[in-house]
Structure 1
Amino acid sequence: MTPPPARRRRTGANGSTPTLNLPRRGAVRRAQAITTYGVGSLIAVDHESFIVSGLDQADRSWSDREAPRIHERRLERLLDVVCFRLPPASDDGSTDGVRVRRFPLMHSCPECNELQKHRDFSPPAGRSVCGTCEVDLVPSRFVVACEAGHLDEFPYWQWVHRSADPGARTFGKCGGKLRMRTSGRTSSLRSILISCTCGKAPEVSMEGSFRKKALKDLGLTCRGTRPWLGASVPAEGCGRPLRTLQRGSSSVWQPVLKSALSIPPWSNGRADPLAGHWEKLRKYHDRTRVEAYLDAVFDEPWPLSLDEVMTLLDAEREEEAEGDAAPSFDHRYRALRNKEYERLRAGNDESEHSREEEFVCESPLGEQSLLDPLGVTGPMLVKKLREVRALKAFTRLVDAESTTDAKEMALSEEPLRWLPAMEVRGEGVFLRLDEERLAIWEKAPAVAARAERMRTAHQRVLEQRADDPARAVPSPATPRMVLLHTLAHVLINEWSLEAGYPAASLRERLYATDEMAGMLVYTATSDSAGSLGGLVAQGEPERLAQVIRSAVRRAEWCSSDPLCVESEASGTIGTNLAACHACVMLPETSCEHNNILLDRALLVGTPDDARLGFFANILGH
């Protein structure tokens, strides 16, 4: 995606120019600064290309008014930070914003065909044009990256001189200048031709530059460059293999996002003034010592009563992962989800709380026995919810959901005690599958074998991407996880048709372990589509039963059948079975797992074996 074009140069609040006189190059939505154009990503503005800068200077450049601090204690504890900050929402009176740097530096001129660094074209100040031809320069379409998250310029010089004599292959020693032209015969890489005026190497095309070992054959490995941190930051030692990528490829930048729902007792915002004090308060188990600490830090009256503080401390300790003195990040994140599942099951009645309560979850008024034939139970109407999504890090080339910490790139050179995040409010419907019926179904040999095929394929990919296959992240694919995931997708598609919601404005949140079998479909967007009550109305048992029946019947047939339903492997890296864009796949913003681990055969069965489907009984099989 390309942000809106640049607006006029910003001025200060009194009409004066900002202190640093930084020109505005475009604008993006606040949410995009977390999910699409976060730190380290490439962003195209008109005919220019930039990389979003790191956060080392953000504490000074982001004002509290434009980038306020927000809190979600459970997520702060998971990510070991004291607060989150919203990306700055700037206007014409703002003095700063999200900073960017020009990248890639290599540009070409479509008029004179020269290929060199941007500054070597001698462009006028503030413009990206060839100083000779006065036409817009074109940023390099190609960059190189490694799986550790580093990013660099494409090595055009080495690519052109790869067949020249050894003396001419030394970077910059041939005495010539690079040129780039397009033959115009095709739109393939073969038509992009690179040459050097030294005459020691023939003109070559870009064909073959995307081969996995193309740069390794040139003797090139990653230098560990991090252009989003600036030229003054030294390169890290790396040496990993490099891959050529299109500048706009989704593989260039993948966000590592972590999120949490605000649930009681943290959901009324009253604990926010104690942010930054919890680590010290957690050391005290005695009420007297907690009271003494609060008395020393806060003037009367305290933000919370002593009883409320003790209740919050008990809630923190209760959420700790059990059975491990030093639980891993995955264990702690699972414990966070477990507590959400318990709260969604238990509910939180609005009438018992103040208007500031940000989590309201109630049982529907209708007859819930209508859902029993479907194997669905425990629907809850989530009338108010708040979700905080934080940008923890980012990856390149590898899927952020399957990576390890070793392949996550930090957002700054120095450790920060905060992370950029967004908060969204909305509503949703929570439901569970009947445990007794689910246990019988998932033990069926055919069901287990089908899920095992997906798990094996996914695990193979995870091991290939891990530095140490023995420490690869275990695949979450189980029969109940795939079933819940696919059911959530077909319900989102159905509600987008029945209730008028755009599919991209609905989102899933899955709770699928041996102890959990539920899902939350919710609207968590920053616009008005998130809080109009339309989705909650769909959770009443009578309407919910109709929606589930309609969604399952719709999933029984796909316009790509019989190819789709009989597929042995489909989707990204072969981790789906009967799933495609014509039936169950969703926009990326809606899916927790990047549209993998889907199989509608586990919903409706296959022509050869209808018993595979959990909902086969309502289809008349």
Structure 2
Amino acid sequence: MTPPRERRRRRADGDSAAPRLALPRRGAVRRAQMITTYGVGALIAVDNESFIVSGIDDAYRSWPLDEAPIIHEHRLARVLGVSHFRLPPASKDTSKDGVRVRRFPLWHSCPRCQSLQHVRGFNPPPGKNVCTVCDDEPLVPSRFVTACEDGHLDDFPYWKWLHRKNREEGSTGHCGGEMGMRFSGQSASLRSILISCTCGVPEASMEGAFRRSALSDLGVRCEGKRPWLKDAPAEFCSQAPRTLQRGSSAVWQPVLKSALSIPPWSDGIADKLVGHWERLRSLSSREKIEIYLMGAFQGDNSISLDAVMALLEAEQAEDSAEEGAADARSENRYQALRRQEYERLCAGNALGDKGRDEQFVCEPPVSDPVVLAPYGVERPMLVKRLREVRALKAFTRIADPESSSEGHEAALSLTPTDWLPAMEVHGEGVFVRLDENRLDDWTRSVAVAARVERMRTHHDRALRERAADPAEVPLSPATPRMVLLHTLAHVLINEWSLEAGYPAAALRERLYTDAGMAGLLVYTATSDSAGSLGGMVTQGEPERLAQVLRSALRRATWCSADPLCVEARSAGANLAACHACVMLPETSCEHNNILLDRALLVGTPEDPRLGFFANMLER
């Protein structure tokens, strides 16, 4: 992280753009990082300091609308139970207050005098983080924190760790001595980090602090602290705390929900109706709605009665589908949202007479897709324009990357809000759909079913091990259809990163693998400049797509880690998949790089017919 320049900033007119409040600034991050990397509850390092991103309870007042505009995505907002979203404010010289952070962890050490104590014990001057005894030597935040699976976070209990064999506490609750931390320099392991106390107890190293039961064995329990929420009371927590590195990805993992803007919600009219929905829903006839629109939108010819009626009908259809479901929980509603996207991607939405505000343009290629028939690929769709909204719903800690389960979701605010932080990205992509008949014939193979069953068994076991309530264990999504499409998306992204010039991190997958769906969307929805290179749509032309498929499949037949990779015996939720062949950057994958198996694409040396595309490799 690089701190910004001097805090005194100038506007274009020469006036000082001072913050609304006299708060010091501590660095800058991109807006996208406030959703995916440094969201609420995450730890962020700025130079030699460490902070935790504050909750959104007061953010609506501190985020000015000109820097943090409102985002509307009607379908996603209804699924998440909010009215709208907010784009986090940009961190730049012209920004005002920005995103609030709080100092964490609070235990620090001085590299010169080797003192280890709460930051207040060093008595630093306001706005600085230095040791006043050592001529303003910069302090080092604790490398270690404790967290539990319910999302709580706390400082590492150094005193209890050091005095675990001598717990005679004085009147102050501790021994009264002064603690210190030094590094022996003998190795780079935890054994070289030594903790001491002037009370005379023997030095203790940090070795063993990361064992799952290390803190529980000391009688340390989770105190239910939520330092990212101002004035949050401690919660009762029955989870065992775990020691984590302050910069570990296990400290914070976002729970993201996203949606594509599709017709009839993608032409911008729905955004103009914000604040009018309740009234429009209450009107019983077309005539009454027309009268209301004439009064509410005088002089605005862009809002037609037919368009409003189409939106209301679409909303009622969504509600009817949810009511007819056996379980209308949020996750089922989210799956219904995906199904709507799949149907629209299959049907297309040609630009034609659509206006400039249309955010979803999806057309079939002009050339004949017969060249793709041998691959079992239906006619692809060229998504020339799309908009995706990604919302930060909550976050988890100590989430097992192998499970893809959200676990316990920690809240972003102390009290419920009617909005969530989100980002919107615009891009283009290619939608690929497999032949349902050929796919069904392939999934009936005993060898295919047995191979996927091994993956599902391991994944289900991982989900059970980390579930707090056995009755709430989610089922593994592993099916032959899902694993095949997921792996195919990965090899296509890797191939397009070579053929089309996109970095793999600038491409993203979106899978449609439930019953009745067999498609994948690879798109360039990224807020970075790499998402605006252009040319992704041309990769979906049948001739070019056939070449890319042929090259990607031949590349998937070999891995530099073979034969270990292809002969994997269920060491995890993956089989023939590793970072040398089909794994992608985490931002590109929907399932944390699990449930992958390139053998289902191309087969194995022992059973080449196992692969869905095996017949094409024989040509």
- TM-score normalised to structure 2 length: 0.95
Shift of 1:466: 1.7
AA paired with 2:586?
E
Q: Could you say which residue in structure 1 is the equivalent of 2:233?
A: 234
Q: Could you say which residue in structure 1 is the equivalent of 2:146?
A: 144
CA contact (8 A) 1:33 1:87 kept: yes
Q: 1:373 to 1:169 in 2, by over 3 A?
A: farther
Using the alignment, how far apart are the partners of 2:83 and 2:18 within structure 1? 34
Q: Could you say which residue in structure 1 is the equivalent of 2:211?
A: 211
Using the alignment, how far apart are the partners of 1:246 and 1:546 within structure 2? 45
Equivalent residue in structure 1 for 2:160, among 158, 172, 182: 158
Shift of 1:123: 1.6
Using the alignment, how far apart are the partners of 2:189 and 2:171 within structure 1? 29
* Bigger shift: residues 549-558 or 21-30: 21-30
The 3-state SS of whatever aligns with 2:391 is strand
* Bigger shift: residues 456-465 or 134-143: 456-465
CA contact (8 A) 2:399 2:407 kept: no
Using the alignment, how far apart are the partners of 1:97 and 1:458 within structure 2? 41
Q: Could you say which residue in structure 2 is the equivalent of 1:259?
A: 258
Per-residue deviation, residues 34-89 of structure 1 (Å, max 9, x unmatched) = 00000000001111100001111111100000000011111111111111111101
Per-residue deviation, residues 512-564 of structure 1 (Å, max 9, x unmatched) = 01100000000011234324431111100000001001000000000000000
Using the alignment, how far apart are the partners of 1:57 and 1:119 within structure 2? 26
Shift of 1:299: 4.9
Shift of 1:352: 2.7
Using the alignment, how far apart are the partners of 1:122 and 1:74 within structure 2? 51
Q: Could you say which residue in structure 2 is the equivalent of 1:333?
A: 334
CA contact (8 A) 2:399 2:406 kept: no
AA paired with 1:287?
R
Q: 1:173 to 1:378 in 2, by over 3 A?
A: same
Q: Could you say which residue in structure 1 is the equivalent of 2:74?
A: 73
Equivalent residue in structure 2 for 1:580, among 558, 566, 578: 578
CA contact (8 A) 2:402 2:462 kept: no
Q: Could you say which residue in structure 2 is the equivalent of 1:471?
A: 472
AA paired with 1:101?
R
CA contact (8 A) 2:509 2:590 kept: yes
Equivalent residue in structure 1 for 2:137, among 118, 124, 135: 135
AA paired with 1:136?
P
Using the alignment, how far apart are the partners of 1:25 and 1:337 within structure 2? 39
AA paired with 1:105?
L
Using the alignment, how far apart are the partners of 1:390 and 1:268 within structure 2? 20
Q: Could you say which residue in structure 2 is the equivalent of 1:275?
A: 274
The 3-state SS of whatever aligns with 2:98 is coil
CA contact (8 A) 2:559 2:565 kept: yes
Q: Could you say which residue in structure 2 is the equivalent of 1:602?
A: 600
Q: Could you say which residue in structure 2 is the equivalent of 1:423?
A: 424
Shift of 1:233: 2.0
Shift of 1:305: 2.6
The 3-state SS of whatever aligns with 2:605 is coil
Shift of 1:167: 2.2
Shift of 1:223: 0.8
| Structure 2 residue 79 is matched with structure 1 residue 85 | no
Shift of 1:404: 7.0
* Bigger shift: residues 77-86 or 232-241: 232-241
Shift of 1:153: 0.5
Q: 1:198 to 1:296 in 2, by over 3 A?
A: farther
Q: Could you say which residue in structure 2 is the equivalent of 1:517?
A: 518
CA contact (8 A) 2:193 2:205 kept: yes
Where do residues 405-424 of structure 1 align in structure 2 (5 Å cutoff)?
A: 407-424=408-425
CA contact (8 A) 2:255 2:406 kept: no
Using the alignment, how far apart are the partners of 1:234 and 1:137 within structure 2? 28
Q: Could you say which residue in structure 2 is the equivalent of 1:589?
A: 587
Shift of 1:308: 1.6
Using the alignment, how far apart are the partners of 1:249 and 1:161 within structure 2? 26
Equivalent residue in structure 2 for 1:5, among 3, 15, 20: 3
Using the alignment, how far apart are the partners of 2:277 and 2:484 within structure 1? 39
Q: Could you say which residue in structure 1 is the equivalent of 2:221?
A: 221
Shift of 1:169: 8.1
AA paired with 2:7?
R
Using the alignment, how far apart are the partners of 1:348 and 1:137 within structure 2? 58
Shift of 1:23: 1.4
Using the alignment, how far apart are the partners of 1:583 and 1:405 within structure 2? 27
| Structure 2 residue 41 is matched with structure 1 residue 43 | no
Per-residue deviation, residues 583-608 of structure 1 (Å, max 9, x unmatched) = 00000111010100000000000111
Q: 1:278 to 1:475 in 2, by over 3 A?
A: farther
* Bigger shift: residues 548-557 or 283-292: 283-292
AA paired with 1:394?
F
| Structure 2 residue 613 is matched with structure 1 residue 615 | yes
AA paired with 2:227?
P
CA contact (8 A) 1:383 1:533 kept: no
Shift of 1:170: 8.3
Shift of 1:258: 0.3
CA contact (8 A) 1:294 1:302 kept: no
Shift of 1:355: 1.4
CA contact (8 A) 2:267 2:358 kept: yes
Which residues of structure 2 form unaligned runs of 5+?
A: none
Q: 1:558 to 1:79 in 2, by over 3 A?
A: same
Identity %: 67
AA paired with 1:619?
L
CA contact (8 A) 1:90 1:96 kept: no
CA contact (8 A) 1:66 1:90 kept: no
Using the alignment, how far apart are the partners of 1:456 and 1:276 within structure 2? 48
| Structure 2 residue 175 is matched with structure 1 residue 174 | yes
| Structure 2 residue 317 is matched with structure 1 residue 315 | no
The 3-state SS of whatever aligns with 1:589 is helix
CA contact (8 A) 1:158 1:171 kept: no
Using the alignment, how far apart are the partners of 2:466 and 2:16 within structure 1? 53
Where do residues 429-508 of structure 1 align in structure 2 (5 Å cutoff)?
A: 429-508=430-509
AA paired with 1:159?
W
Shift of 1:265: 0.7
The 3-state SS of whatever aligns with 1:567 is coil
CA contact (8 A) 1:386 1:424 kept: yes
Using the alignment, how far apart are the partners of 1:270 and 1:171 within structure 2? 64
AA paired with 1:604?
V
